[in-house]
Amino acid sequence: MNIDIEALKAQYPLFNRLISLEELFWTNPNLEKFDTAIENSPLSYEDVKQAEERLVRFAPYIAKAFLETAKMNGIIESPLVKIPSMKQSLEGDYQQIIGGDLLLKCDSHLPISGSIKARGGIYEVLKHAEELAVQHQLLTFKDDYSVLDSDRFRTFFSQFSIAVGSTGNLGLSIGIIGANLGFNVTVHMSADAKQWKKDLLRSKNVNVVEYEADYSKAVEEGRKLAEQDPNCYFIDDENSRDLFLGYAVAASRLEKQLKELAINVDEGHPLFVYLPCGVGGGPGGIAFGLKLIFQDNVHCFFAEPTHSPCMVLGLMTGLHDQISVQDVGIDNLTDADGLAVGKPSGFVGKTMEPFLSGVYTVSDQQLYKLLKKLVDTEGIHMEPSALAGMIGPVKLSKDDDGVEYLSKHNLTEKMKNATHIVWGTGGNMVPEEIMKQYYQKGFDIEE
């Protein structure tokens, strides 16, 4: 696409920072009141509820096929924990008081695939499997879905294939669940995908195709190949409504966890949520679900690497998926797996535009420092991308635009009652040796 960089510089005050790869904090001028935003939304509460009910139908199968989920009766969910030592350490390091409590949502520890992709990715495969089985009269909504964990069903599903383009984690989720059901799964991996992820998938008989190019190219090629095969279902991370809804189910689960911790969210007790963003489906779906529940009392921010700020670029310019970071001279090279995306989902950008409070960017160096700090203070291990949310509470309180956001929404005085949730999106499946290297990098940067 032909982009007039000079015009963008003149029009958007933060554009220079963006292309200079400096960290920035952007507040969304198109944020609307919840009531207005939901009226014009292509998705509703009813859509999310249906996704939630589908996951309940599948729970007996999940519990049987993945033993680690049995104690949660086949519901794939992660802990929500307070991280007071991390909060104290952040406040000291960045010389900034964070009003209220700091919590971490540990999607890094989601069962089955150890990342946020165990929400949307698994959901979409389950929905597709259900549609096929019901269509062929092998299953009804009233059945006990544990029957799916059987040779009879695996033989049935082996006639069908599933394909997906991925930087790694989505491929892991789709590959693991798809192979377990019996599908032929092909994962089209971008150049940045880690070797151990490819190895793990191949060990589960998943077909891994490797590309020299970035994520958008892997998706494009995967989509093209899948279109040639009528029995192949392509999971389109750039446009999928089902992925989005699978992620959105997280919100009602989180509401329950907040109640269990006796944490109130209401007009006097605002909730701030910081979500690492790649193509947008994961953070978008979760933020959408949270807005449905907490409405104007929740404030959602996306976090992107300084080298892959695709969502903020698309939202700021209003060009969504018609502009990529490469178009404005940014290289899309980051160690943050899952976030190395040059072009955002147009569907997510447009759907979330009236609901999203803002987007900020964070450098890779910062991610490694935060990774080490989380280990040192709380003993929790996550992968670099999962730390992108961690600096959000600092930036919101410190950056001029963050301070202005708080005052504009009458939040300044309420911050002592605030709850900040950092969405920790991945890490549990990272091999120990690689995790040690991540920690060491954080150590070296601190020195």
Ligand X SMILES: *Cc1c(COP(=O)(O)O)cnc(C)c1O
* Binding residue (CB under 6 A) for ligand X from 283, 314, 389, 392: 283
* Binding residue (CB under 6 A) for ligand X from 116, 177, 286, 380: 116
* Binding residue (CB under 6 A) for ligand X from 113, 385, 419, 428: 385
CA 263 – CA 127 distance, rounded (Å): 33
* Binding residue (CB under 6 A) for ligand X from 54, 105, 117, 320: 117
Contacts of 244 (CB under 8 A, 6+ apart): 43, 120, 281, 284, 285, 288, 347, 348, 351
Examine residue 282 and tell whether it contacts ligand X (CB under 6 A). yes
Examine residue 281 and tell whether it contacts ligand X (CB under 6 A). yes
Examine residue 309 and tell whether it contacts ligand X (CB under 6 A). no
Instruction: For the beta carbon of residue 432, count every other beta carbon within 10 angstroms.
Output: 7
Q: Please identify, among the stretches 23-31, 110-118, 122-130, 199-207, the one whose residues bind ligand X according to the rule CB under 6 A.
A: 110-118
E-assigned strand segments in 333-386: 358-362
Examine residue 351 and tell whether it contacts ligand X (CB under 6 A). no
Rank residues 108 and 161 by Cβ distance to ligand X and give the closer one. 108
| # residues contacting ligand X (CB under 6 A) | 20
Examine residue 118 and tell whether it contacts ligand X (CB under 6 A). no
Rank residues 65 and 164 by Cβ distance to ligand X and give the closer one. 164
Examine residue 178 and tell whether it contacts ligand X (CB under 6 A). no
Interface of this chain with ligand X, residues 19 to 38, rule: CB under 6 A: none
Examine residue 342 and tell whether it contacts ligand X (CB under 6 A). no
DSSP 390: G
E-assigned strand segments in 277-395: 298-305, 358-362
* Binding residue (CB under 6 A) for ligand X from 51, 80, 279, 387: 279
Find out whether 36 and 354 touch, Cβ atoms under 8 Å: yes
Q: Please identify, among the stretches 38-46, 194-202, 257-265, 278-286, the one whose residues bind ligand X according to the rule CB under 6 A.
A: 278-286
Strand, helix or coil at 271?
Answer: strand
Examine residue 358 and tell whether it contacts ligand X (CB under 6 A). no
Sheet (strand 271-276) strand order: 25-27, 358-362, 298-305, 271-276, 419-424, 101-106, 80-82
Residue type, position 402, single letter: G
Long-range contacts of 67-70 (CB under 8 A, 24+ apart): 68/111, 68/112, 69/111, 69/112
- Tally the C-alpha atoms within 13 A of residue 301's C-alpha that lie toward its C-beta: 31
Examine residue 278 and tell whether it contacts ligand X (CB under 6 A). yes
- Structural tokens at position 284: 């978008």
Q: Please identify, among the stretches 261-269, 271-279, 290-298, 349-357, the one whose residues bind ligand X according to the rule CB under 6 A.
A: 271-279
Rank residues 132 and 371 by Cβ distance to ligand X and give the closer one. 371
Residues that bind ligand X (CB under 6 A): 115-117, 169, 276-283, 337-339, 383, 385-386, 425-426
